Amino acid sequence: MTTETPAPLAVTYAADAQELQEELGRTGGGPVASVGVLVFSGDDGPRLADGTPDPVPVGAVGAGVSVAVDGALFERRGFTAKVGRTLVALGTDGGPAVVFIGCGDARKADFETLRRAGAGFVRAAGRSGTALVVLPESFTGESGAGVDSRAGQAVAEGALLGSYRFVGHKSENDEGQIDRLIVLGAGLDGTGARRGIERGIRISRAVSLARDLVNEPPSSMTPRRLAEVAEEELGSSGEVTFEVWDEQRIADEHLGGLLGVARGSAEPPRLIRASYEPSDPLEVDGHVPHVVLVGKGITFDSGGLSLKTAGGMMTMKTDMSGAAAVIGALSVCGDLGIRIRVTALTPVTENMPGGRATKPGDVLTIRNGKTIEVLNTDAEGRLVLADGLSLAAELEPDAIIDLATLTGACVVALGNAVAGLFGNDDDFSARVTAASQRAGEGTWPLPLPDEYRKHIDSDIADMKNIGKTGEAGAISAALLLARFVNDVPWVHLDIAGPARSDENDGVLTKGGTGFGVRTLIELLDGYSPSSV
């Protein structure tokens, strides 16, 4: 028996007490149960963000709750306003609880601070009812066009992603949370804040879609089912054309890497191809920029004949996180008015140790004719991506970006919070880096040194699928991928670390994180051929 996944948290905006009263009446909800205010750390102890009203309106005009800082309470409870930490002061006489939300040093506050604040608040605000969070104008210390919009977006993303739960396979769900969040602007431009909140809602839906795809058990999220869900999510848009290649079509198209990895599985592989054509395209010298997204879609990775340990297999449904991110990002391009062409390619298969499985020592021929000697069948992601990147390069786009849970070596180098970024073009790499910073998703550039190319030289094929044992594993994998993009500007994101979280932390919840969706959206939305 399973229970339905709860409806996403509803997020709305009110500019003042009058609009708050109207919002509460329009939605028919109960009274405000908790109020969140942002608190900075300082030399003299925690303080409210400048511009925070006291009292904060909570319903009828004239009704409010005091949010004055209680230094003694903070000291007693050890609250220092560290980013994302919260302190709950219970309401009096049945009034709303006050949640003080830590935002750290005001001089370092940014939009990621707001995301973490939104996530921390929804976790502390209670198990049901309506919550109100105050977002004052002065929060970020930034000014200029779009600041209020970005602030609203950040709070909405934090709240929605922090409240995400995957409970569809639980017989009981007792993880209650607030039903509705109202963002109260204190001096913000209401039009900009509303626009940002709506954008944050849409982006969060895309991230949640990616998380759902990853979190689903591998025997139900098979290659065929992933293709079906992708078509359900993408195929209904008038701006997206969608097709799925079956095993015969994959063979006809000479995708030898994908076929080789799929051999050991009873589940047939799929190649998902979706193309977004904007209704209001951006033209540059008569050309609409075109970016191709390639996502690794191994719905379960046993390691093949190079079998993983039992412990190593426990989280291997996560190995299709690249494909999930690509699908999630494309699902929202139309809603956000992305103005460039976007194509998504996701080679999808299981990697299993069946009787027909590829054996160590076999040679596979990739779509572009290059050959790869397979010495470790657990290094399968680069084999399917080689086909995907070959197809991408044939489209002659302006740029290619691939996402893949590719190597444990990248986790060793960068940990679980940061993705490795490799690229063959400094300008495009800088654009992706800037997009990841705006999105609040950590990336770090790693090199592609020419002297390491010999690590993947093969005696009997054009290359081999593993490098030197214990040396530069993430780099060796990226160097192999680089041979399939021709001269197209390209970035490879190795997301093996941040694709999954083992704890609820900030906007992350346990399980698939949807890492990369926000970076892709930032990249596509702000893309121009000539500037970062």
User: pLDDT digit string (tens) for 168-213?
Assistant: 888 776 667 898 999 999 888 889 999 999 999 999 999 999 999 9
The answer to whether position 364 is within a domain reads no
- Cβ atoms of 358 and 377 closer than 8 Å: yes
Specify the pTM. 0.95
The pLDDT value given to residue 1: 31
The answer to whether position 3 is within a domain reads no
Give the CATH number, domain containing residue 36: 3.40.220.10
Provide the domain limits for residue 222.
212-359+379-451+472-482+489-524
The answer to whether position 205 is within a domain reads no
Give the CATH number, domain containing residue 314: 3.40.630.10
The answer to whether position 225 is within a domain reads yes
Which residues in the chain show pLDDT less than 50? Answer: 1-3, 531-532
**Residue at 181: amino acid letter:** L
Final residue before a domain boundary, out of 130, 156, 190? 190
The domain tally of the chain equals: 2
The pLDDT value given to residue 532: 38
Do 134 and 247 belong together in one domain?
A: no
Token output for 263: 């051999």
The pLDDT value given to residue 144: 57
Q: Which residues are registered as beta bridge partners of 13?
A: 183
The answer to whether position 330 is within a domain reads yes
The pLDDT value given to residue 141: 57
The pLDDT value given to residue 189: 86
User: How many other CB atoms are found less than 10 A from the CB of residue 174?
Assistant: 7
The answer to whether position 456 is within a domain reads no
Do 267 and 118 belong together in one domain?
A: no
Q: What's CA 175's distance to the chain center, in Å?
A: 23
**Alpha-carbon distance 520 to 508, whole Å?**
18
**Alpha-carbon distance 399 to 424, whole Å?**
11
Do 91 and 229 belong together in one domain?
A: no
Final residue before a domain boundary, out of 190, 221, 256? 190
* DSSP reduced 3-state for 227: helix
The pLDDT value given to residue 6: 59
Which are the catalytic amino acids?
Answer: 308, 382
Whole-Å CA distances, 222 to 258, 266, 298: 15, 11, 9
